[in-house]
């Protein structure tokens, strides 16, 4: 396999495909896959939605920062972050030596995907209009997501197709600005 970054952090809204794309991408690269939210749940001994209710968002964010720091020391890893991870400047800056891949998705597509698994498990989407809540979250986080080194559209694509584009984009990114091949350079989008 051509050279790719050894630390890949998938970012994006809930429902963008991080937990679906991540394991496939990791398998193709021979890397370990880590779902940051599942790591936090294992450490806390409870689900994130229960943690939000019982301990509050602050405790979740503290554990998120701790787990992010732990993952930042790993190599050959694909990390699926939580939807708000990229907006946390303290966590993002402490997770150096990585490439961030934004899995961009429209809120209506994300809600459709989340409805298959039960959006009620997502505390920030609780309420009568989860699509509006997701659109509000996207508006608040989009500038942070846009700082990702690689941007991939996931709407209307099967997971394997997204992984193929991700692999091309990551190889191109790793080759640096002198690369002549197809694919985005830092800050560019692959469609």
Question: Greater confidence, 96 or 70?
Answer: 70
Q: State the average pLDDT over residues 154-174.
A: 95
DSSP secondary structure of 49-66: HHHHHHT-HHHHHHHHHH
Q: State the average pLDDT over residues 56-74.
A: 90
Average per-residue pLDDT in the chain?
84
Quick one: pLDDT band at residue 189, thresholds 50, 70, 90?
low
Annotated domain spans of the chain: 7-190
Strand order in the sheet with 77-80: 32-35, 77-80, 7-11, 99-104, 150-153, 188-190
Contact assessment for residue 38 and residue 134, using Cβ atoms and an 8 Å cutoff: no
| CATH code, 7-190 | 3.40.50.300
User: Looking at the predicted structure, is the pLDDT value of residue 169 above 50?
Assistant: yes
Question: Greater confidence, 12 or 130?
Answer: 12
Query: What does the pLDDT read at residue 129?
Result: 77
- CA-closest candidate to residue 191, choices 166, 170, 173, 174: 166
User: Looking at the predicted structure, is the pLDDT value of residue 48 above 80?
Assistant: yes
State which of 88-92, 143-147, 181-185, 187-191 shows the largest mean pLDDT: 143-147
Cβ neighbors of 84 (< 8 A, separation 6 or more) are: 124, 137, 141
Centroid of chain to Cα 164: 17
Quick one: pLDDT band at residue 116, thresholds 50, 70, 90?
low
Quick one: pLDDT band at residue 151, thresholds 50, 70, 90?
very high
DSSP secondary structure of 69-134: HHHHT-SSEEEE--TTGGG-HHHHHHS-S-EEEEEE--HHHHHHHHHHH-GGG-GGG-SS-HHHHH
d(CA 97, CA 94): 9
User: Looking at the predicted structure, is the pLDDT value of residue 183 above 50?
Assistant: no
Contact assessment for residue 33 and residue 22, using Cβ atoms and an 8 Å cutoff: yes
Q: Can you give the pTM of this predicted structure?
A: 0.84
- CA-closest candidate to residue 19, choices 95, 93, 116: 116
């Amino acid at each position: 396999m051509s050279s790719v970054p050894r630390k890949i952090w998938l970012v994006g809204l809930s429902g963008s495909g991080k937990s679906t794309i991540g394991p496939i991408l990791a398998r193709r690269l021979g890397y370990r896959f880590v779902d940051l939210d599942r790591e936090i749940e294992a450490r806390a001994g409870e689900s994130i939605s229960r943690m939000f209710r019982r301990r509050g968002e602050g405790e979740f964010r503290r554990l998120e920062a701790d787990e992010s720091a732990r993952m930042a020391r790993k190599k050959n890893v694909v990390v699926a972050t939580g939807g708000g991870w990229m907006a946390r400047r303290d966590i993002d800056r402490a997770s150096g030596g990585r490439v961030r891949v934004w899995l961009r998705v429209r809120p209506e597509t994300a809600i459709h995907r989340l409805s298959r698994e039960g959006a009620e498990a997502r505390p920030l989407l609780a309420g009568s209009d989860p699509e509006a809540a997701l659109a509000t979250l996207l508006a608040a986080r989009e500038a942070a997501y846009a700082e990702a080194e690689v941007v991939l559209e996931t709407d209307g694509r099967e997971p394997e197709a997204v992984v193929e584009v991700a692999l091309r984009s990551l190889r191109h990114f790793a080759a640096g600005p002198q690369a002549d091949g197809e694919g985005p350079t830092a800050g560019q989008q692959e469609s």
